[in-house]
Structures are given as structure tokens and as C-alpha cells.
Amino acid sequence: MLIVQKFGGTSVGDLERIQNVANRVSKTVKEGHQVVVVVSAMSGETNKLVAYAEHFSKNPARNDVDMLLSSGERVTAALLSIALNEMGLPAVSMSGRRAGIITDAVHTKARIESIDPTKMFDELNSGKVVVIAGFQGVDENGNVTTLGRGGSDLSAVAIAGALEADLCEIYTDVSGIYTTDPRIEPKAKKLDKISYDEMLELASLGAKVLQNRSVELAKKLNVNLVTRTSFTDEEGTLITKEENIMEKPLVSGIALDKNQSRISLMGVKDRPGIASDIFNKLADSSVNIDMIIQTVGHDGMTNLDFTVPKNEVLDAKAVMDKFLEANEIQDISYDDSICKVSIVGVGMKSHTGVAAKAFSTMAAENINISMISTSEIKVSMVISEKYAELAVRSLHSAYALDK
């Protein structure tokens, strides 16, 4: 088999753990498989580099940020390749560029446009383990780009797709996908399987165990994706098509996202096209909008509330200030102290009362819900950040996920 193995930050967190990864790769090769490894930066490294940049500037040029951040993954890739060669296992390390990963030019959250796997195949065919620095590519002009936080997952899935690999294993610090973050609720249960759609919702709604775009791509390319731990041989969780899952629980998991801010626009000119103007301008600045609420207008004015990722508030503010100047909006406020809790499950499609139960669970804990959004397979609620963990645990038990 051709297997892509991705190791996250904790799995390569120090030199001993990198050696541990080398041993695991070597074992897989000895079992007769071809292996392509994708690595993250050592844990804490990317945050450290972000802090270095912020030491000099609150809003550093994004191309510089990418030059800086992409270095973390290259360090790990090189070290792992050195360790493998030392063990007598021929290996070669590659940057995103060398691996043929071409992205668009949206620095710090670039999208992969294409992958030319020629170099990777050349090295594999000469009997080497190929170790690739995750999280990065280059745009068509050769500038280094990064794929958004957690983006090594996306590198792994995209590479597995380009190589038509038989399996893509994501090694992390938990043994699979749980009913909720096991660090918040120790009673969380590991799932044997989860559908792409549910996993995509969980990831998009804050479960950082997999980057959401990696799941989206895995679904599109039909990549066999497994999440497991690098510390033991425990079986992980298979992320697969819904039809491969016999048992469909009402709710499969609870996600928490603390990385959202709420932006409230007050006194918005209530005219046709205003929402389109605002959200198109935000999209042009690559701001990701999540929940939107528009209240009933009066006197030609309305209020518009929406949420954006915390690290995109500055970009959103730059856009909104233009609307303020043009008198299309009277006032803006920003709220950082919110979070979003969500319940996810394909079983919801065919059942009623699932959302109502979420609301009454919040009511029983005296937690006020300030925004709600629903889809076929999820219910999301914005609440005060100070109730985040309490909300997750109450919902987890309300839907009997600990049973």
C-alpha cells in the first residue's frame, strides 16, 4: 500500500518524539508499504513564531508571516529525514514547493490549486521515504504561502489525493475522534467511524482535531482518512461515507469554538443591496463570516450582527470603517467574550425536538443564548464564553453521549 502518515505538533514535540515517529515510519516500511510523511512544526513552534512577528507589528505583512511560519514545518521535516537516514532507512525531506504544491496567493490562508506529484513519485520509486513539510505551498509566482492554522492536515489529505494513496493516517495526541473534546469532557467516547459530513461540521464548528478544509477535500477526493494517536497502537477513527455507517445516532458530537468574535452593526441603512455590499466587501478581504442575524428594521434603519474568527476582526474592522465613513452604518461594536457550542448528527435529519432539547438544556443551566443557527445536521448557539465548558458538558450528558 501507499500510505500518507501525518504527524501533528505534539507527535513531533521534541527530539525523542521525532525519533519515535521515525520508528513508527520504519515499522510501516518494514511491513512492506511505501510511505509519504507529512509533518507539522514542533508543538508551540508556530505560536512562538506568531508572537515574534507580533513583537514588531500588530499587522505584519502577510507574505512575511508566511515566510516565517513555514519555517517551523521545514525544521521538523529535515530532522525526521535525518533521523530516518541514520536508522538506515533512505529518506528525503521536501518543502511544499519541492513537493509541487501550488496555491492561490491568499497569504496565511491559501487554498491548494494543484499538486504536481512528479518529484514525490521519483523519490518513492527510488525507494525513499518522502518527508514533506506540511502547512505550506507556493503561489504561481513562487512566493511561499501557508494554508491556515492546522493546515498540515490539509497538506496530508491533498497529497494523499494527488498520489492516489490507499490510506491517509492523521497521527495526533488523542486516539481518534471523540463525542466531544476529551480535554473538556473526560467522559467523551471515541467513535469507531464518523461520516465526512458530520466530521466536516464538527471541524468547521471548532473541533480542531482535523482542519475543516482537510475534511472537505477528503470527502471530495474520497480519501480513506483515519485519525489515531502516535503514542500507542490503539485503533483510531475512520472518517468515511455516510452509507458505510450502520448505526446513526441522533447526535454524534458536540463542538466548541472559542475563536469567534461578534460584530454588531447598528443603524444600518435599510436599503436593497446593503447586505450584499457589506458581505461582498468582507469576502473580498477574505474575512470568513459565520452566523448572521438581521433584526426587523424601523425608521429606515436595521441592525446586523455576525460572527467572524477572532484573528480576522482587524480585517473586518478595516472594511466596516469604510461603511461608517460613508454613513451607511451609525455604530459598530465588537464582542470578544463569546463562544459557539454546536451539536452535530446526521440522525437529526429524521427527528424532531433535537434543537428544542439543546435550548432547554441551556435554560436549565441558566445560560443565555444570543444567536442560533441550524442546518439539517447541526444546531449552533452563541453564548457567553464563561459558560463554554459547562454548556459542552451539559449537552454531552443531555444527549446521553457518555452512555
* Residues that bind ligand ASP in the complex, under the rule CB under 6 A: 8-9, 40-41, 46, 72, 134-135, 149-153
What span, in angstroms and rounded, lies between the C-alpha atoms of 265 and 302? 9
What span, in angstroms and rounded, lies between the C-alpha atoms of 315 and 59? 10
Residue window 132-171: x/- pattern of binding to Mg ion, with contact defined by CB under 5 A: ------------------x---------------------
Residue with cell 435550548: 359
Q: Residues with Cβ < 8 Å from 58, sequence gap 6 or more?
A: 314
Q: Which is nearer to ligand ADP, 181 or 290 (CB)?
A: 181
Q: Which does 230 bind (CB under 5 to 8 A by kind): Mg ion, ligand ADP, ligand ASP, none?
A: none
Q: Which is nearer to Mg ion, 189 or 208 (CB)?
A: 208
The CA dihedral of 183, 188, 189, 192, to the nearest 10 degrees, is -60
Residue with cell 464538527: 202
Q: Which is nearer to Mg ion, 91 or 154 (CB)?
A: 154
What span, in angstroms and rounded, lies between the C-alpha atoms of 77 and 83? 10
Residue window 109-148: x/- pattern of binding to ligand ADP, with contact defined by CB under 6 A: ----------------------------------------
Q: How far is the CB of 149 from ligand ASP (least distance, A)?
A: 4
Q: How far is CA 153 from CA 81, 212, 280, in A?
A: 19, 9, 29
207 sits near ligand ADP (criterion: CB under 6 A): yes
What span, in angstroms and rounded, lies between the C-alpha atoms of 40 and 136? 10
Q: How far is the CB of 243 from ligand ADP (least distance, A)?
A: 22
What span, in angstroms and rounded, lies between the C-alpha atoms of 191 and 3? 22
Provide the 3-class DSSP secondary structure of residue 373: strand
Q: Which does 161 bind (CB under 5 to 8 A by kind): ligand ASP, Mg ion, ligand ADP, none?
A: none
H/E segment holding residue 268:
strand 260-269
Q: Which is nearer to ligand ASP, 214 or 302 (CB)?
A: 214
∠ Cα 17 18 20 (to 5°)? 60
Task: Candidates 83, 92, 165, 209: give the one binding ligand ADP (CB under 6 A).
Answer: 209
Residue window 166-185: x/- pattern of binding to ligand ADP, with contact defined by CB under 6 A: ------xxx--xx-xxxx--
Q: How far is the CB of 136 from ligand ADP (least distance, A)?
A: 15
Q: How far is the CB of 89 from Mg ion (least distance, A)?
A: 26
The CA dihedral of 83, 89, 90, 91, to the nearest 10 degrees, is -40
Q: How far is the CB of 126 from ligand ADP (least distance, A)?
A: 30
Residue window 24-53: x/- pattern of binding to ligand ADP, with contact defined by CB under 6 A: ----------------x-------------
**Which residues on adjacent β-strands are paired with residue 294?**
304
What span, in angstroms and rounded, lies between the C-alpha atoms of 217 and 182? 25
Residue window 236-255: x/- pattern of binding to ligand ADP, with contact defined by CB under 6 A: -----------------x--
**Quick one: 350 exposed, middle or buried, by C-beta within 10 A (0-12, 13-18, 19+)?**
exposed
The residues binding ligand ADP (CB under 6 A) are: 8-11, 40, 150, 172-174, 177-178, 180-183, 202, 207-209, 253
The residues binding Mg ion (CB under 5 A) are: 8, 150
